[in-house]
A = this chain, B = another copy of it.
């Protein structure tokens, strides 16, 4: 696969800082740190921070015992270090060549990091750097799309193999373990899962339980694995045996909604219209009250990121966006059906992976 171009991204951010008159963007370990500086680091209580300056080269500050580790894991070949007994925020202030007036913070920066920065830079204005980070991240390059296709293929294969192998009497938690095994064998990376049986499937985001699979149970698996940290997010709803008439009726509506959204999705179309396309189908079939969430969300280094496919988001989709298309109908006490694909926005948008979803008899 093509390498990701971290330095190019840093340059693009510099341009945005200059145009918005912001001195620097500070990025503690986070998804955005990985996006900018390559290292996939855990946020901890010890300050690590990558800083993109509007004019100067990017710098990083990290604990001194992590110096070699930072040089191996990130794009930096030098590291400003602080010792365990020092206040890293004072060291950071001393390391800067000037007093910044306007600082953008990576949006997930913890409040207690912000308050300590604010103490060192009391007259600086702090703004949310999420906007221009998202401007970059929402437009996937070919190298990123390659990774996401790989992740989507592994996810679809892992889910369908799991559904092919499950047996009556197995619990949601047991099926989750089977899915975990399938996906980690395929991708070798991390994965996440929801497994819901029968009436549990009617609760979006419900946790897996000891509920058992029965003959003709509805079973919903919502899962994703990663490729080089880029996520897939796919939901398959199936039946373990024979599908009831009611299931087939509702399934056809959700499927039509999913297809309608895909048809609507293309560069230039306001995001909310893609939601409306699917919702219209479901409302027309008189199931509108059971479609309780937005149609979808952007996908990439996070399972949920911009653009959100939701009423009120009138921003037009852009070529290179990747978003989920996941209409659902949830009938309390009975079952829920969600069909979720990952869609790449182009002149005519397309699914990252196509696969056979009809696993019942």
Contact = CB atoms under 8 A, between A and B. Distances in A.
A360 interface: no
Given A63-B293, A108-B110, A112-B130, 8 more contacts: A44-B304, A66-B204, A66-B205, A68-B203, A69-B204, A73-B207, A107-B110, A108-B112
A197 to B, nearest CB: 15
A111 interface: yes
Nearest to A65: B292
Nearest to A205: B69
A268 interface: no
A179 to B, nearest CB: 15
22 contacts: A45-B305, A46-B304, A63-B293, A64-B292, A65-B204, A65-B205, A68-B203, A69-B205, A72-B206, A73-B207, A84-B293, A84-B294, A84-B310, A84-B311, A85-B310, A85-B311, A105-B111, A108-B110, A109-B110, A112-B128, A114-B114, A115-B128
Contacts of A203: 68-69, 72
Interface in A272-315: 292-294, 297, 304-305, 308, 310-312
A111 B107 contact: yes
Interface of A: 44-46, 63-66, 68-69, 72-73, 84-85, 105-112, 114-115, 126, 128, 130, 203-207, 292-294, 297, 304-305, 308, 310-312
A111 B106 contact: yes
A34 B231 CA distance: 26
A292 B66 CA distance: 9
Given A105-B111, A111-B106, A111-B111, A206 B69 contact: yes
Contacts of A204: 65-66, 69
B109 A45 contact: no
Contacts of A108: 110-112
A349 to B, nearest CB: 21
Nearest to A311: B85
A322 to B, nearest CB: 16
Contacts of A130: 112
Nearest to A180: B184
Closest 9 CB pairs of A and B: A107-B112, A85-B311, A65-B292, A109-B111, A84-B294, A108-B110, A85-B312, A65-B293, A105-B111
A205 B66 CA distance: 7
A327 B254 CA distance: 58
Contacts of A73: 207
A142 to B, nearest CB: 26
